Amino acid sequence: MKTKIETTKAPAAIGPYSQGTAGQNLVFASGQLPIDPATGVMPEGIEKQTERSLENLKNVLESAGSGMDKVYKTTVFLSDMNNFAAMNKVYESFFSGSIFPARSAVEVSRLPKDALVEIEAIAWRG
């Protein structure tokens, strides 16, 4: 059975999608933009935007009974691949242990709200 994941600790969906869905023991978190859910403001700079996107992702996962330590796979969308190293440094700090999630990182021509980064994930819950 598919269930909807929703939390006020991450930005509300800005289109016809859910913040996340879960089925059985897997959570599928939609791409998280770097929008502060309390203010609706997006910070400036790739480091702060990566941090905010990952905080939003963490909150979606935790609301589903999962967490960053249970992430199997992420996809990072960057508006400029020149931001990869700076994004990667912040990204690494959100995952502990010796096994990092599998990941794809791609440059896209544009992200919603002209964000610099968006991050989605698949995680285990249980």
| pLDDT tens, residue by residue, 67-108 | 999 999 999 999 999 999 999 999 999 998 889 999 999 999
> Order of strands across the sheet with 71-78?
2-5, 20-23, 26-32, 117-124, 71-78, 102-107
Record the pTM: 0.96
Candidates 3.30.365.10, 2.60.40.60, 3.40.50.850, 3.30.1330.40; CATH matching 2-124: 3.30.1330.40
Q: Residue 35: pLDDT band by 50, 70, 90 thresholds?
A: very high
Contact between 117 and 87 under an 8 Å Cβ cutoff? The reply is yes
